[in-house]
């Protein structure tokens, strides 16, 4: 269980999270929905220890993550797939895949990863940034599945991708969900998370404004779409 309480975060002088509260039960997929600038990515970065100034508490396995460095947080079993995908341009595809160190047993083995994402195997010796956007996204997800981290932060994995790739990513997330991973899924696409997430949090102006169970989501989708509409 990951519990966020009264989380505030700043970029320099700019106060972007205003007392966020959120629970992420173990083994569940939780979506975080909101417009651009609502603070979704900041929330992910705060969990991962990548924000400069934060107050409040993020408790995970009995410790407050805000007190740890990001590498220590990673070693607790949390891994991020960042919004910009974070593929390293100076590394080959294979080097990108193997960069995150294995932090626990039980990570996905290489055969399984290559079966899920065959392109990554084929293009192993290309530079990471020579891949298409969809392939880069696959690589960004694949490399954190290898590490044994059981809590995954996926920041807009479908952004800017073709529908066929989006479907493939949805299939992958479903598959890793069945393996018992805990997932926080940041999205602007309500239809992507419908049926995929167990709990939905709606976010606006650095705060959670509503929480919907998976079952309630369909009935409220009009409201969600309105929130997300630019």
Partner 1 sequence: MDVYLILSQMTLGLVNGVFYAILSLGLAIIFGLLGVINFAHGVFFMLGAFIAYALGQWLGIGYWGALIIAPLLIGMLGLVVEVTFIRHLYRLDHLYGLLLTLGLALFVEGFIRIAFGPQGLPYSVPPSLRGAVNLGYMMLPMYRAWVVVAGVVLCLATWLIIEWTPLGAKLRAATDNPVLVQAFGINVPVMLTLTYGAGVALAALGGVMAAPILSVDPSMGTSVIIVVFAVVVIGGMGSILGSIVTGLGLGLLEGLTKAVFPQASSTVIFVAMVIILVARPRGLFGKAA
- What are the residues binding partner 1 (CB under 8 A)? 48-50, 69-71, 73-75, 79-80, 82, 86, 88-91, 95-96, 98-101, 103, 144, 147
| Closest CB 61 distance from partner 1, rounded Å | 15
| Neighbouring-strand partners of residue 59 | 3, 64
Q: How far is the CB of 89 from partner 1 (least distance, A)?
A: 6
Residue nearer to partner 1 on the CB measure, 73 or 197: 73
In whole angstroms, the minimum distance from the beta carbon of 48 to partner 1 comes to: 5
For partner 1, give the closer residue by CB, 102 or 209. Answer: 102
Shortest Å, Cβ 133 to partner 1? 18
Name the residue nearer to partner 1 (CB basis): 99 or 221.
Answer: 99
| Contact by Cβ (8 Å): 150, 76 | no
What gap in Å lies between CA 89 and CA 218, rounded to an integer? 40
- Considering all CA atoms of the chain, what is the largest pairwise distance in Å, rounded to the nearest integer? 47
Minimum distance of partner 1 from residue 50's CB (angstroms)? 6
Min dist. Cβ of residue 96 to partner 1 (A):
8
> Residue 83 corresponds to which tokens in the numbers above?
């919004």
Pick 71 or 225: Cβ nearer partner 1: 71
CA-wise closest residue to 213 among 200, 194, 196 = 200
Looking at the Cβ atoms of 73 and 139, the one nearer to partner 1 is 73
Among candidate residues 161, 225, 208, 230, the one with its CA nearest the CA of residue 40:
208
**Within 10 Å of residue 105's Cβ, how many Cβ atoms?**
6
Nearer to partner 1, 91 or 170 (CB): 91
């Amino acid at each position: 269980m990951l519990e966020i309480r009264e989380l505030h975060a700043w970029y320099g002088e700019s106060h972007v999270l205003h007392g966020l509260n959120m629970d992420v039960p173990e083994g569940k997929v939780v979506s975080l929905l909101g417009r651009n600038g609502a603070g979704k990515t900041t929330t992910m970065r705060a969990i991962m220890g990548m924000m400069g100034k934060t107050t409040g508490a993020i408790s995970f396995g009995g410790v407050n993550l805000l007190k740890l460095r990001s590498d220590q947080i990673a070693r607790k079993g949390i891994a991020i797939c960042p919004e910009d995908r974070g593929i390293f341009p100076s590394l080959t595809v294979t080097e990108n895949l193997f960069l995150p160190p294995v932090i626990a047993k039980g990570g996905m083995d290489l055969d399984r990863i290559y079966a899920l994402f065959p392109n990554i195997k084929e293009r192993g010796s290309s530079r990471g940034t020579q891949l298409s956007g969809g392939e880069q996204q696959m690589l960004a997800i694949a490399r954190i599945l290898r590490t044994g981290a059981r809590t995954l932060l996926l920041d807009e994995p479908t952004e800017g991708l073709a529908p066929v790739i989006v479907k493939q990513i949805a299939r992958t997330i479903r598959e890793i969900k069945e393996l018992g991973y805990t997932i926080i899924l940041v999205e602007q696409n309500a239809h992507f998370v419908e049926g995929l997430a167990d709990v939905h949090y709606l976010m606006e102006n650095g705060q959670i404004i509503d929480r919907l169970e998976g079952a309630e989501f369909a009935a409220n989708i009009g409201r969600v779409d309105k929130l997300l509409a630019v």
